[in-house]
Amino acid sequence: MRTFPLISRICGAAVLGAALLFGGATAPALAGVGHVCSTALPPEAHDTLDLIEAGGPYPYPQDGGTFYNREGLLPDQETGYYHEYTVETPGSRDRGARRIVTGESYQEDYYTADHYASFRLVDYGC
């Protein structure tokens, strides 16, 4: 379940955009995080993103839980900033390795196909 409603994510993007425009802050450090065009995501990732936007229900009890960024690949944030969701893997007998990890900022969604070994920020503009 998303802790912050869509309006909070929109406002967060506006604040970040203004800060970048006026030089007050820099974009989050994304060293080691690539990008992926939203249209290049597997269909199951879109299903998961739709469920996140709708607030569930989710297929697994772990979905919506805190992602702790133990790997240190995402920008450092306070505990509770990131949440993880399962992306179904066809043919897998368990949850599989694919996840969406969301941050609190507007459209701050990361995709991993390798169970947190790497992340790609979803680009909704392509």
From the list 102, 91, 89, 103, the residue with the least C-alpha distance to 60 is 89
Question: Of the listed 44, 71, 88, 115, which one is catalytic?
Answer: 115
Partners of 37 in the beta sheet? 123
Predicted pLDDT at 85: 98
Q: In whole angstroms, give the CA distance from residue 90 to residue 77.
A: 32
Average pLDDT over residues 15-43: 63
CATH superfamily of 6-123: Microbial ribonucleases (3.10.450.30)
Per-residue confidence band for 30, with pLDDT thresholds at 50, 70 and 90: low
Average pLDDT over residues 109-118: 96
Average pLDDT over residues 1-25: 39
Question: Of the listed 35, 71, 83, 84, which one is catalytic?
Answer: 84
Per-residue confidence band for 31, with pLDDT thresholds at 50, 70 and 90: low
Residues in contact with 59: Cβ distance below 8 Å, sequence separation at least 6, in sequence order: 86, 88
Say whether 115 is catalytic.
yes
Predicted pLDDT at 21: 41
Chain segment 56-108, per-residue pLDDT in tens: 999 999 999 999 999 999 999 999 999 999 999 999 999 999 999 999 998 99
Average pLDDT, the chain: 82
